[in-house]
Amino acid sequence: MGNKKLDMLGVSAFCESMAMMVQSGIQTEEAVALLRQEDQKEAGLLEQALALMQAELENGGSLSGAMEKSGAFPAYALKMVAAGEGSGRLEAVLFQLSRYYAKQKTLSQKLRNTVTYPAVMLVLIIVVLALMLTMVLPAFTQVYNRLTGSLADSSYGYIRWSYGFCWGALGVMVLLSGALLLGLALWNSKKRRAVEGVLYKLPVCGELLRQLGLYRFTAALSTFLASGELQDLAVAESKEMTACKPIEEKLSRCQAHLEEGHSIAQAAFEEKLYEPVYGRMLLAGERSGKLEEILRQIEGLLEEHCTSLADRLTGILDPLLSGVMLVTVGVSLLSVMLPLLGIMSSIG
């Protein structure tokens, strides 16, 4: 199957279907066969993966091994299913994975929209400025040349300022577009850390990245604990899902506390991994034996916070870029209209 992977919704749907079948007492081999029957009309990626999985299961393999052999599932899902099989909590883990990937898809789409909007606005501003420089301003220039003889010698020569203003604004927009494209290219390469280092210094962007990292860690930790994994191993595995240097540094200190015999709730509270109210929730959940339930609640709260931060970032960029376009176009048009008003006044 190559390196093709199922998308997040595909993984979520598979995990939920498998969880419901396992919950009903259906064996994994039969469950995969039933899924193949449901999807037999589609010869897509999932159908190919199910065919390989069924063959592996018929040879006595495990579900996690079959998923790995298909090559269609992310490494995190493979680890979690293997842990669930080992602890006898496969059903709970599959349900957790289904929720996790569904939420990840929602957040990823939200972040993609947050990046796409300013990119579209930048392109729109560049197009408007290009039209101003190639069509609108030259048209007014020709009119004034016919009326006054020469812009250079007339009292209306300051119309050239509108050209300079538009060229300057166009240059800035092109540089911003280039920076955005470069940032996206570096983000998808080995230079991602360098881009993150810049974004962490920006108030809303930095907070959004930190909260996303914390959300990913909490979701992974909740799933690992649901699989029956020990706390220290669960933290170590969940740390790999964070992809956020500031959070990883705090988690390293938390791991040191765990090695000293502290619990994850105590370590998180002492290192201020979460906000104080969340830290107290963890401590209360641990003492009451409901740590996994509290982690799921915090996961939901962090997801809402990330969504609100993304909306806030869009809310900042929207009026800013719209204002740049309106001011640029407005000043340019005002520069070319004022001479016309002066001419009309002198004629009247």
- 167-210 pLDDT, tens digit per residue, is 888 888 889 888 888 888 887 777 777 777 788 888 888 888 89
Q: How many structural domains compose the chain?
A: 2
Q: Are residues 204 and 273 in the same domain?
A: yes
Q: What is the pLDDT of residues 237-286, one digit of tens each?
A: 888 888 888 899 999 999 999 988 888 999 999 999 999 899 899 999 88
Residue 289 in domain: yes
As a whole number, mean pLDDT of residues 137-141 equals: 77
Q: Are residues 43 and 147 in the same domain?
A: no
As a whole number, mean pLDDT of residues 11-32 equals: 88
Q: Are residues 174 and 60 in the same domain?
A: no
Residue 88 in domain: no
Q: How confident is the model at residue 290 (pLDDT cuts 50, 70, 90)?
A: confident
Contacts of 139 (CB under 8 A, 6+ apart): none
Higher pLDDT, 307 or 148: 307
Tell me what percent of the residues of the chain surpass a pLDDT of 70: 89
155 has pLDDT over 50:
no
Distance (Å, rounded) from C-alpha 105 to C-alpha 127?
A: 32
Higher pLDDT, 345 or 308: 308
343 has pLDDT over 70:
no
Residue 303 in domain: yes
Residue 2 in domain: no
CB atoms within 10 A of CB 46: 19
Q: Are residues 340 and 253 in the same domain?
A: yes
289: left (phi over 0), alpha (psi -120 to 50) or beta: left
Burial state string for 101-132 with b = 16 or more CB within 10 A and e = fewer than 16: bbbbbebeebbeebbeebeebbeebbebbeeb
Distance (Å, rounded) from C-alpha 67 to C-alpha 76?
A: 12
What does the block give as tokens for 236?
């170590």
Q: What is the pLDDT of residues 201-251, one digit of tens each?
A: 888 888 888 988 898 898 888 888 877 778 888 888 888 888 888 899 999
Q: Are residues 19 and 162 in the same domain?
A: no
133 has pLDDT over 50:
yes
User: Of 73, 88, 119, which residue sits at a domain end?
Assistant: 73
As a whole number, mean pLDDT of residues 129-140 equals: 82
Type of residue numbered 107 = L
Half-sphere exposure of 151 (CA within 13 A, CB side): 19
Query: Which candidate, 83, 71, 100, 123, places its Cα nearest to that of 325?
Result: 123
Residue 13 in domain: yes
Where do we find the tokens 């048009």? 333
Q: Are residues 53 and 119 in the same domain?
A: no
Q: Are residues 237 and 315 in the same domain?
A: yes
Q: Are residues 51 and 107 in the same domain?
A: no
CB atoms within 10 A of CB 282: 24
Q: Are residues 230 and 107 in the same domain?
A: yes
Residue 52 in domain: yes
Q: Are residues 244 and 141 in the same domain?
A: yes
Residue 128 in domain: yes
Domain that holds residue 141: 102-348
Residue 2 phi/psi, 5° resolution?
Answer: 75, -150
- Helix ranges (H only) for the chain are 8-23, 28-38, 45-58, 63-70, 75-87, 90-131, 137-148, 160-187, 192-199, 203-226, 231-239, 245-259, 264-270, 276-287, 291-347
